[in-house]
């Protein structure tokens, strides 16, 4: 009786497969794969953990590479989504610029075995992740980026060539792990900033906001320099919290400040590591301030910009830097020339642009003559107390060219100084000519890729601004951008520091974005062309 009510045994469920489909038959390798992969991964993790334990904290960064690779694979495998975080790119890009200029780069959280945790990394690394995630999950983002980049395809292609050269030269470095760290930093502060700028400044109004921010930052740094000059050191020296102090000899030298080796007063440096870096930034800012002074803006803005120009030049004088004056002269002359060409093309009935153009040779002659005839200017530009610096640069070039020819493939990023072996009287390695540094680091191919990248940007910005009859903010912004890059290229002849490189790459991205926007304006005016629009193509991941 009880057996009648006994619970029946469960019957194993069989998988039902509808015709014409059939149950997949697993091969022997498929059956054995889980039993092989899992133990293998377990053994690898044990080995990984063992070597991490015995080498930490000295090789923490190297052991983070597998984790970074898995993170990149995870981002690539994300599913498509209609929403993406690309709208955050604007804020992080502008925050990156503010931190780059205003925050001293030698103040950071330094943990054992880890790179310095600086504000640049705190804003740059999230920016990289936002770009990668947006490209992974959003087809709309990918299509727009392809359209922007293909407006000037040669620029992004030559940048990719330079990136490949950076990677291929790592094995030739004297300290490969240090060079790897430098290359990774370059991808955050250079490459990623370029692509982020391409996207952000393709939006209306963003480029003009960047111009205004550069103006404000230049004034802010100038005020800090004015405060710094009478006290003879940066204002925050002696007031740095313990958790931001970096125990490094180079940081100690920066906080002490400096004077010219062969006489002269204190040289202000602001938040930058050297007075030369501050002078370079001021020279780069001048074209943008001049744009507000002569552009189609309210009278109050134009007057404020006009007053700001001599203030920025005064700060350059406080740095006692020739490269700053060289950049200021170059920015002024190039801006006047390009602006006059632009106005003459668009206003044939005006007499002022041709008068400026025809009088430009006389202006150029007067400027050059002043550098020889005016004693103070001559000593700052050509000779006097700076004669030893001039001779030193020529000797560096003479010593560096044979080393380039001996290894034309390059010695790896940031290895130019040790390879050249040029030592200052204080015992520190130095290299002054950035053209030489690029050739030593990246070889002949890398040299032409790097400077070809910026030369293409200058050429494209110049042509887009001058060879069109359109008027508007987007076209006018191309002029100071082109002038700024010309100024930066000239300064690199006498200054090898890479502190302001991120600004130059940001400017390159802005040129690409503005070319894209101005092409849209021209296409709207002229109607659709026979060439297919890059934005209409479907981009597969």
Q: Which two tokens stand for residue 234?
A: 């940066």
State the SS3 of 438-453. Answer: HHHHHHHHHHHHHHHH
Contact between 192 and 127 (Cβ < 8 Å)? yes
DSSP string computed for 354-398: HHHHHHHHHHHHHHHHHHHHSHHHHHHHTSGGGHHHHHHHHHHHH
Query: Residue 121: is its pLDDT beyond 70?
Result: yes
Give pLDDT tens digits for 217-269. 999 999 999 999 998 888 888 788 877 777 777 777 788 777 665 556 788 99
Going from N- to C-terminal start, the domains of the chain cover: 37-77, 119-525
- pLDDT bin (cut points 50, 70, 90) of residue 540 is very low
Q: Which two tokens stand for residue 321?
A: 């830097």
Which residue, 334, 341, 367, 336, is CA-closest to 486? Answer: 334
* Lowest model confidence (mean pLDDT) among 17-21, 101-105, 271-275: 17-21
Which residue, 382, 413, 419, is CA-closest to 400? Answer: 419
Q: Average pLDDT over the chain, rounded to whole? A: 82
Question: How far apart (Å, rounded) are the C-alpha atoms in residues 431 and 495?
Answer: 8
* Lowest model confidence (mean pLDDT) among 218-222, 334-338, 500-504: 334-338
Q: Provide mean pLDDT across the span 28-46.
A: 78
Q: Provide mean pLDDT across the span 1-28.
A: 57
Query: Residue 387: is its pLDDT beyond 80?
Result: no
pLDDT at 109: 78
- Name the DSSP class of 407: S
Which residue, 336, 343, 324, is CA-closest to 363? Answer: 336
pLDDT at 435: 93
To the nearest whole percent, how much of the chain has pLDDT over 70?
A: 79
Q: Provide mean pLDDT across the span 58-62.
A: 69
pLDDT at 376: 59
pLDDT at 201: 95
Give the number of other Cβ atoms within 10 Å of residue 41's Cβ: 10
pLDDT at 263: 53
**How far does the chain reach from its first CA to its final CA, in angstroms?**
68
pLDDT at 250: 75
pLDDT at 371: 60
Query: What pairing do the DSSP bridges indicate for beta strands 266-267 and 258-259?
Result: antiparallel
């Amino acid at each position: 009786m009880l057996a009648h009510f006994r619970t029946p045994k469960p019957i194993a469920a069989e998988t039902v497969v509808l015709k014409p489909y059939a149950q997949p038959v697993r091969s022997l390798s498929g059956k054995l794969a889980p039993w092989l992969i899992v133990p293998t991964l377990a053994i690898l993790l044990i080995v990984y953990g063992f070597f991490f334990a015995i080498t930490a904290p000295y090789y923490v960064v190297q052991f983070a590479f597998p984790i970074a690779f898995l993170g990149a694979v995870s981002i690539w495998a994300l599913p498509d989504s209609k929403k993406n975080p690309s709208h955050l790119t604007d804020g992080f890009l502008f925050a990156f610029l503010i931190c780059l200029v205003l925050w001293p780069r030698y103040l950071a959280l330094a943990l054992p075995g880890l790179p310095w945790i600086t504000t640049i990394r705190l804003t740059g690394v999230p920016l990289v992740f936002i770009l990668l995630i947006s490209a992974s999950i959003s087809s709309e983002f990918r299509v727009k980026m392809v359209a922007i980049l293909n407006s000037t395809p040669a620029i992004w292609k030559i940048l990719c060539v330079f990136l490949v050269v950076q990677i291929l030269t790592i094995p030739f470095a004297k300290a490969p792990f240090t060079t790897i760290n430098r290359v990774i930093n370059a991808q955050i502060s250079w490459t990623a900033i370029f692509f982020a700028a391409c996207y952000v400044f393709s939006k209306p109004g963003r480029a003009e906001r960047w111009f205004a921010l550069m103006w404000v930052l230049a004034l802010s740094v100038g005020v800090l320099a004015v405060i710094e000059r009478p006290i003879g050191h940066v204002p925050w020296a002696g007031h740095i919290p313990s958790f931001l102090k970096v125990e490094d000899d180079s940081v100690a030298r920066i906080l002490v400040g400096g004077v010219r080796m062969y006489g002269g007063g204190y040289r202000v440096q602001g938040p930058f590591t050297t007075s030369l870096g501050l002078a370079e930034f001021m020279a780069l800012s001048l074209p943008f301030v001049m744009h507000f002074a002569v552009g189609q803006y309210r009278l109050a803005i134009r007057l404020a910009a006009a007053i700001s120009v001599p203030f920025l030049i005064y700060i350059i004088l406080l740095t006692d830097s020739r490269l700053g004056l060289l950049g200021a002269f170059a920015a002024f002359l190039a801006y006047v020339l390009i602006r006059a060409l632009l106005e003459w093309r668009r206003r044939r009935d005006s007499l002022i642009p041709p008068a400026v153009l025809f009088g430009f040779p006389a202006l150029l002659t007067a400027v050059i003559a002043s550098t020889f005839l005016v004693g103070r200017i001559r000593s700052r530009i050509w000779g006097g107390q700076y004669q030893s610096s001039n001779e030193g640069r020529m000797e560096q070039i003479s010593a560096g060219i044979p080393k380039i020819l001996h290894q034309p493939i390059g010695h790896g990023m940031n290895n130019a100084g040790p390879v050249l072996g040029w030592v200052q009287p204080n015992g520190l390695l130095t290299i002054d000519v950035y053209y030489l540094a690029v050739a030593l680091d990246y070889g002949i191919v890398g040299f032409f890729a790097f400077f070809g990248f910026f030369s293409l940007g200058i050429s494209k910005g110049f042509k887009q601004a001058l060879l069109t009859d359109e008027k508007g903010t987007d076209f006018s912004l191309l002029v100071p951008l082109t002038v700024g890059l010309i100024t930066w290229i000239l300064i690199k002849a006498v200054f090898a520091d890479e502190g302001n490189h991120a600004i130059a790459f940001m400017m390159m991205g802005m040129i690409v974005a503005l070319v894209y926007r101005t092409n849209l304006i021209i296409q709207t005016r002229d109607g659709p062309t026979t060439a297919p629009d890059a934005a209409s193509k479907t981009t597969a991941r």
